Structure 1
Amino acid sequence: MPVENLGSLLDIPEIQDELSGLGEDYELEVSQDASTPDSINSLAAGEADMALVTTESFGGAIVGDAVPSGLTAIATDFWDAHPDYFGFEIYSLPDSDVTDPEDLEGASLGVNATGTGIHAVFEKQLDNMGMSSDDVEYNEQGFATFVEGLEDGIFDAAIFPGLYAVTPRNQDFNLVFSSQDAFGDEFENGYPFAYTVSTGDALDNKGEQIQSWGDDYLEVVDYIESNRDEVVSLAADHFEIDEGQLDEFFMTENDYYRDEIEIDEEALQGIMDELAALEILDEQFDVGEHVTNEYIT
């Protein structure tokens, strides 16, 4: 999703002008997928060298050998469920009978796609309540349609990422639960949720270019921290997002925890083991074989 994914900011020409390697050491082509499983398919088909993926799609791709040359996580984008920052929020309409996790049984739930980290948040909370996916109905739509979907009765509750959570929060929708409620007992400091990954073929054949990308990624993070208001304006214009909505979310207490760019192998192993325990992943795997920090240090 634009902006939530810091790497997407590399697509903005005014920010590109601030980078040292872009256009000299490599050419950047940025595309947008509807969900991270779609991004995995692009990687598997050789249509992309790198992509932003989330917990469930990354783990599922590794366990299922979805990408022939393998996948390696090379940079963290953001964490979920950190106690001091935003965690995915599940809302229902102000007059809804679904106001607590206990009310989810039999409910229709809005997700962007199953097989995603977003989906895993629901699955974790259902497990906490002694329920499973058999007790609910998932409906897949784009995040931008979730408020309308609730109002039209397509689903009873929907999960909102940071950018889109601004609207239900400001309209006093019912906050049914958050990621902190779902994962807080096991992950009191949150867990790494989204990260840039690369295929094995890309690392083997385009290692120097990916290193240059890593240098630019670090530059972008520094630039954002020093020029936050300018970045909000540029991103709103480039991605055609309401600037007020973006300003209320980006790099505020309503944004995700983003202070750890390096891959935290222990924390990532912990969430993958949890997904395996929830039977979201078919089996556990050694995260250490699929991560590296060499491109962002």
Structure 2
Amino acid sequence: MLYSNRRSFLKTGAAVTTAGIAGLAGCTGGVDEDTLRFNFVVPIENLGSLLDIPEIQDQLDNLGDEYDLEVSQDASTPDSINSLAAGEADMALVTTQSFGGAVVGDAVPDGLTAIATDFWDAHPDHFGFEIYSLPDSDITEPEDLEGQTLGVNATGTGIHAVYLKMLQEVGLSEDDVDFQEQGFPTFMEGLQDGIFDAAIFPALFAVGPRNEDFTEVFTSHDAYDGTYPFAFTVATNNALDEKSDAVEAWGEDYVNVVNYMFENRDEVVSLAAEHFELPEEQVDEFFLTEHDYYRDQIEIDHDALQATMDELNDLGLLDGEFDAEENATNEYIEDHL
């Protein structure tokens, strides 16, 4: 079985633009039709990353027989979009704004299709992205962000969109703040060193500021009216055409991994913490608890996806309309749910 883990998590991401990747169009890579190349951003909370763990791979029926897998870690979902556009990846974990922007901007040759939902944000009983300032900061509510420097892993992402949605809710705009791009693991240090004044934390990394009594400025629960699909596994349409059998086999394995993690939560916490070299207590505190995202629905809800993309378009975060029916399908996982 071909197995690779190339990590670049701490490097700074960059926003996706059509011009920025125009020179990449047409690249297809040189990987055979039985090999799927999958990119993710945040380990463990991006569920596809769990397929990178050898002990979990051993539980799968198809990996190694029906397809091989190469897993790579990126600093941001725009980086993953760039890899898809360059023909360096077949599948990736992406978030709302990155996905919608790539589709609307024709950023990836032959297009992208969402084939599974990874998680939902802002569920009332689950985690919503948390924005913190220092424990003794005067920045205590969204209005206080005016004129401040804000930590973000990359602009042009769903994380970035959470900021922009909240800013618009309180009458501010992107011009009223300064975004500083940096890797998630460095955000607490960035606040302490004065690199930025507030930072947004995904579930895995929100454990630190929450336990150290940093000041919660707002969460995505405050920005959004209700739960919405936030992250998806997408595949290039070229991969769906050229590697359809491999993607079908991956879909079965993905569903099995999700079922396995719910049934063997403590084991997965230990395996994942060791594999990704993270403190087990940090993983244990968030994974599949109230401090984790809503994960009970991994199939695509086309109406919810469409509503989310329509909202991003209305907010001026997309440069055109997105069609969920044309750019998302459950056919690779529905028979295994």
- TM-score, length-scaled by structure 2: 0.86
Measured in 1, the distance between the counterparts of 2:97 and 2:90 equals 19
Q: Secondary structure at the match of 1:30?
A: strand
Tell me, yes or no, if structure 1 residue 192 matches structure 2 residue 233: no
Q: Which residue of structure 2 aligns with residue 144 of structure 1?
A: 185
Residue 101 of structure 2 corresponds to residue 60 of structure 1:
yes
Counterpart in the other structure of 2:196: 155
Picking from 234, 242, 259, the partner of 1:205 is 242
Aligned to 2:276: 239
Is the counterpart of residue 223 in structure 1 residue 260 in structure 2?
Answer: yes
Give me the whole-angstrom Cα distance separating, in 1, the residues matched to 2:215 and 2:314: 30
Which aligned pairs between 1:1-297 and structure 2 lie closer than 5 A? 1-184=42-225, 188=226, 190-297=227-334
Distance (Å, rounded) in 2 between the aligned partners of 1:286 and 1:223? 33
> Deviation per CA, 1:97-117, whole angstroms, max 9, x where unpaired?
100011011011000000000
Supply the AA of the counterpart residue of 2:274: D
Aligned residue type for 2:273: A
SS of corresponding position for 2:273: helix
Could you list the runs of 4 or more consecutive aligned residues of structure 1 that deviate by over 2 angstroms after TM superposition? none
TM-score, length of structure 1 as denominator length:
0.98
Question: 1:286 deviation in Å?
Answer: 1.3
* Separation in 2, partners of 1:135, 1:54: 24
Residue identity opposite 2:156 in structure 1: G
Give the number of equivalent residue pairs.
293
Once the two structures are superposed, what CA deviation does each residue of 1:117-168 show, in whole Å capped at 9, x if it has no partner? 0000000000001110000000000010000000011111000000100010
Aligned counterparts of 2:73 and 2:212: Cα–Cα separation in 1:
29
SS of match in other structure, 1:31: strand
Shift of 1:282: 1.0
The SS at the match of 2:69 is coil
Q: What secondary structure, in the 3-state scheme, does the structure 2 residue paired with 1:212 have?
A: helix
Note the C-alpha offset of 1:69. Answer: 1.1
Mapped partners of 1:282, 1:261: distance in 2: 27
Helix, strand or coil at the partner of 2:140: coil
Task: Kindly report the root-mean-square deviation, in angstroms, between the aligned alpha carbons of the 2 structures.
Answer: 0.6
3-state DSSP of counterpart to 1:229: helix
Displacement after TM superposition at 1:254 (Å): 0.2
Within 2, Cα distance between the matches of 1:191 and 1:106? 29
- C-alpha displacement at 1:292, in angstroms? 0.4
Query: Deviation string for 1:62-113 (max 9, x for gaps)?
Result: 1100001110000000001111100000000011010001101101100000
Shift of 1:274: 0.7
Which structure has more relative contact order (CA 8 Å, sep 6+)? It is: 1
Question: How far, CA to CA, are the matches of 1:98 and 1:154 in structure 2?
Answer: 15
